Amino acid sequence: MANIKLGVNIDHVATLRQARRDVDPDPVSAARVARSAGADLIVCHLRQDRRHIQDKDLHNLRKVLKTGLHVEMADRPEMVKIALDVRPDWVCLVPETPTEVTTEGGLDLKSGKSLEKTVKKLRDAGIGVSLFVDPEAVAVRMAHNFGADAVELCTAEYAKSVGRHRQHTELERLQLAGYLAHELKLELHAGHALDYSNVVPVAQIPDVRCLNIGFAIISRSIFMGLKPAVIEMKRLIQQA
Ligand code: PXP
């Protein structure tokens, strides 16, 4: 049985709430249900445009989650200040552009001086830091050089690859980047666009410790409820 943590991303519970700018559905209630169904971490992305998760959600989540709060954010002074205030267990630094529908790929680490400083600030505050990177050796090495605790490998290219050959190639990229991360003693996370049909080969990558999954779980929960949707995803990754 694979010992892989499941991080359930609840952004799209907040997306639905923001459609009416009301109080339901409440991401904190979703976090409680997801945890009771076996989610090891609750993941959310505080975007600069606040299109889903709001500042007060983060504070409320921190109040009810003693452990396992994982926040994605851009490397911006405003966000770093919020992280230092809320003190999640993990921050994953991600690239962000205003027009994107969702995160489009890994960080550009070449313009990384600010990133290195941010990693240090967050780690000095006792927050675990992961960097969202494309599955490339150079990115994994740079994440290590910047002092990150973990890398989250972007699985988007794997998830959208069509045909067995292409999918195999993308999986191999993830495996190779994963080996390097392990060799450099970086904790290995992965995520983006994973779903019930494509998650198992990623869960079989040696040394992967955590998979962060949102859209597929929240989508399925509309038809079958959040608890069964989380239980099913957890079963798939644990039996991989
Ligand atoms: N990991 C990162 C870094 C992300 O930005 C996202 C999307 O917010 C996810 C994982 C989850 O992606 P999805 O919602 O497609 O499962």
Predicted pLDDT at 110:
83
Distance 163 CA to ligand 1 centre (A): 23
Residue 230: predicted pLDDT: 98
- Residue nearest atom 12 in ligand 1 by C-alpha distance: 192
Per-residue pLDDT for the chain (240 aa), expressed as one digit of tens each? 679 999 999 999 999 999 999 999 999 999 999 999 999 999 999 999 999 999 999 999 999 999 999 999 999 999 999 999 999 999 999 999 888 888 778 998 887 779 999 999 999 999 999 999 999 999 999 999 999 999 999 999 999 999 999 999 999 999 999 999 999 999 999 999 999 999 999 999 999 999 999 999 999 999 999 999 999 999 999 999
Based on the residue annotation, tell me whether 12 is a catalytic residue of this protein. no
Q: Which of 42, 212, 213, 220 to mutate to test the pocket of ligand 1 (most atoms within 8 A of CB)?
A: 212
Residue 58 pLDDT: 98
- Residue 16: what residue type? L
Q: What domains sit in the chain, N to C, each tagged with a CATH number? A: 5-238 (3.20.20.70)
Query: Which residues lie below 8 Å from residue 191, measured CB to CB, with a gap of 6+?
Result: 7, 9, 152, 153, 154, 155, 211, 212, 213
What pLDDT is recorded for position 112? 73
Atom 6 of ligand 1, nearest CA residue: 192
Nearest CA, atom 4, ligand 1: 192
